[in-house]
Structure formats: C-alpha cells, structure tokens
Amino acid sequence: MNDSPGWATPGSSPSDDRSGRDGQGSQGSGSEGAGGTQPPAQPSDDPRWSAAQPPPGQWSNPGTEAPAPTQAPQPQQGPGWGSPGQQPGAQGGPPYGSPYGGQYGNQYGPYGHPGAPWGPPAAAKPGVIPLRPLGLGEILDGAVSTMRSHWRSVLPITLFVAVIVQVFGTLVQKYVMADLETYPGRGSAIDLSAGDVAGYVALTGATYLVQILGTILATAMLTMVFSRAVLGQPSSVAGAWRESRSQLPRLIGLTLLVGLALIAAAAVLVVPAILLESVGLAFLTLLVVAPIVVWLGVALSLSSPALMLEKSTVFKAIARSWKLVKGSWWRIFGITLLTGIITGIITGIIYYPLSMIGIFGFGNGLDSVMDGSASQSWGFLIFGGVALIIAQTITMPIQAGVTVLLYVDQRIRREALDLDLARAAGVDTATDPHPGAAPGHGG
C-alpha cells in the first residue's frame, strides 16, 4: 500500500488532538469519517456547498411544495412523536428530514440516517468495513468478509505456511524426538543427560523458529491483502508478496525484538525465584510477570501493521503502536482476547476429533495413549497434522485481520484516517459528504 495515500504517518500530530475524545469517538469520528469536513459557516462562499444547500429560510414541512430544485432530498415521511394525526412540525418542532433532527433525521442529522433511526451516520464502505470508528462485530465481520471475498489470495498464503510448518514439525516429532531420552514415550523412565537436553532444546527451538518465520511471512502478506480489502481493491498473492517483501527483514527484527523484550521482562522477575529455589516466590512472581507480559504484548500489538503499512523502521513501529494503543488498552485487550478464544475454539473443534480418529482408527487406542506411544504413531501424526493445517488456514487470517483492522480503527479514531482512505478508494468526500458504498468497488 506504499502507493496508496493514507497509510503514511501524518506529518503533524493529529492523534494528540483527537486522542482525548475516545469517549466521543463513535459520534465525532464517525461523522468525520463519513461526512468529511463540516460545511463552512457561510455556505454561499463555497460553490460546493452553495449548490447542495437551499437558500436560508426555505426549509419546509413535508407535504408542501418543494421550494427549489436545489433543496436537499427529504427522507420518506413516517409517524411523528406527537399525538396521532398531528402533522409533523405543527407545534414548532423540527420537520421530518430537517438538517437538525426529526424523528428519523437524515444524513445531516445527529440521531441517525435513513433506514436506521438511532444508528451511526451513513459512512462510505468501499470495501469490507465502513470508513468510521468500528465496533467489535464490524472488526470480526471485516476479517471474515475478507477471507470470503478475497479467498484466492488469503487461502494460498495461509495454506502454504501451515503445510510447511506442520510437515516440519511432524517429521521432527516422528524421527528425531522419539530417539531422545528426554522425550517421554512407551512408559519408560527419563534418563536426563546434558546432550539429550541440548538436543531437545535445539530441536524444539528449530520447530518454533520455523513456525515463527512462517507466521511472519503470512502476517506480512495478509496485512497487504487486508489493506486492499479495506479500500475494496482486488489483491493477489504475487501482489501481496511484492508489497511486503521489502519490509520482511524489518518485520523479522521487530518480532524477535518484541519476543526478547517479553522474555527479558519475565526473566528479570523469575530468575530470583529459581536461584532461591522457592516455590512460593515463584508463584508470587508469576502473578506479577503475567500481567506485565500481557500489558506489554497488547501495547506492542499494533507495531506489525504499523511497520508494514507505513513502511517505517522497527523502533518507529513500536513507538506508533505504543501511541495508538494508549488510552484504548482495555478495548484492544478485550477484542484480542475474544479473538484468541474464538480461534482456540475453532482449533479444538477441528483438531481433537481428527486426532482421536488417528489414535483409535489407525493406532493402538487407549493403550497407546496410556503408554505414551500414541504421539509417535503415524495415524495420530498424520490426522493431527491435517487437522492443524485446516485450523491454521482458517484462524491465521482471522487473527491477522483483527490486528490490521484494530490498527485501522485506532487511526480512524485518532487521526481521521477515514478521510484519506475514502479519497484513496475513489470516494469524493467534498461533493458526497455521507456516501454509501463507493461505485465501482466491491467488498
């Protein structure tokens, strides 16, 4: 998205101006994201607004003849707030469709828009999300909608990464870890040795390294797919690779740096308990370490999309994430936690039935489970690996999509990114203050 306006860091600091209005983010940012700038104090001075607004004093009640062709269109009339049979506006109240309210309001009114009396104002939706501050349901729906509408790009990326990771892990578990004495199998006692421990740690580290690198690759490419989905633009695997490959080294460095920071934060508190060999102190430090690690993880959770979409450096991306999350930590934590629970449930639903089929259909059943040999049977490894490939193919884009959309949502709330995105998507916010779906763009 380097060629598309809107993703770069703003030259000024608009987030400082709007960050204190999170409590009003749904209305304030929504009206800005949907409607562009407010009309000038004197509409006649601006030809764009003088052509769209009626002359002063010519607003009329419904049922009367329209005063001029330039008058704003009135929404369909409906029952009023007054007594039955009373004409709207008969008691001096605002008529239906006035720019300042009424029962149903209109696109200029503060209470809603046509078709949704108490909902947020109409907003441009060139892609998978409306360009205004997002709710939880809209973020999750945007992630799923991108998977559905851009599956030709999403599916090959996640499937390729999931297959590589699971094939490597399955081969290591079958042919390498079973030969290590530190690997509990067949009910035998574990005879610890320095060589076995070192081998086990090295292989485990290699497995996790492959998984981390695969996740980084998928995250980088999916970020580009989701950024185009927000604008309603088509995407391809080749295009996502071209746009993301220049930032891949930095994303790897960012991931390693954040991981080391979390490990260091935990080690500083855990090492004293290990040295003193105190179970009570270890439990106490665990209660302290867990909140710190979670807090840092959420504070840095938006650094990856900031790095990829703003083409920034590692430390600038960390600073951007810290700034965007500030003041919204609990909201981002809750959405991230809920996403993790949803993806965990999906993984469990897919994995456990297939792995049980592998154990009982192609293994030794409960006996292999009891003596520990089930984890080495081909039935368990193959069916479990296939289950994890399917689960990761589904859950990986959901997690990546929620992270990207959280980043977009925070920038809309703090920096009016919706205006830049609307212009990039071809929506003319100057002449169409409250557009619906932009023509020519699909979600």
The model's pLDDT over 308-325, given as tens digits with 9 standing for 90+, comes to 999 999 999 999 999 999
Q: Is the pLDDT of residue 104 over 70?
A: no
pLDDT at 122: 72
Give residues with Cβ within 8 angstroms of 202, minimum separation 6. Answer: none
Instruction: Categorise residue 206: left if φ over 0, alpha if ψ from -120 to 50, beta otherwise.
Output: alpha
Q: Which of 109-113, 131-135, 373-377 has the lowest mean pLDDT?
A: 109-113
Q: What is the mean pLDDT of residues 311-340?
A: 96
Decide if 231 is inside a domain. Answer: yes
Domain assignment of residue 168, yes or no = yes
- Residue 315 to residue 321: CA distance in whole angstroms: 10
* Per-residue pLDDT reduced to its tens digit, 359-388: 777 766 666 666 666 667 787 888 889 999
Q: Contact 31/48 with Cβ under 8 angstroms?
A: no
Res 77: pLDDT: 38
Q: CA 257 to CA 255: how far, in whole Å?
A: 5
For the segment 272-284, the average pLDDT, to the nearest whole number, is 73
* Position 207 in a domain: yes
Residue with tokens 């009329």: 60
Q: Which pLDDT belongs to residue 406?
A: 97
Beta bridge partners of 50: none
Closest by CA position to 54, among listed 108, 93, 102, 103: 108
CA distances from 423 to 412, 430, 431 (A): 14, 10, 12
Asked whether residue 46 is domain-assigned, the answer is no
Please give the residue that has the higher pLDDT: either 418 or 185. 418
255 or 173, which is more confident:
255
Number of domains in the chain: 1
pLDDT at 394: 95
Residue 341 CB: number of other CB atoms within 10 A? 10
**CA atoms of 379 and 365, how far apart (whole Å):** 11
pLDDT at 303: 95
Q: Is 30 within a domain?
A: no
Going 44 to 49 to 51 to 56, the CA torsion angle's sign is negative
* Per-residue pLDDT, 218: 94
Range with the poorest average pLDDT among 23-37, 45-59, 297-311: 23-37
Average pLDDT for residues 332-350, to the nearest whole number? 96
Q: For residue 129, what pLDDT is reported?
A: 95
**Is position 122 within any domain?**
no
165-169, 214-218, 264-268: the lowest-pLDDT one = 264-268
Q: DSSP state, 183?
A: S
pLDDT at 11: 62
**pLDDT above 90 (res 67):** no
Q: Which domain holds residue 195?
A: 136-416
pLDDT reported for residue 132: 93
Residue 97 within any structural domain of the chain: no
According to the model, what pLDDT value does residue 429 have?
A: 58
Query: pLDDT at position 192, please?
Result: 53
Sign of torsion, CA 424 430 434 440?
negative
Model pTM score: 0.69
Which pLDDT belongs to residue 286?
Answer: 76
In a domain? residue 227: yes
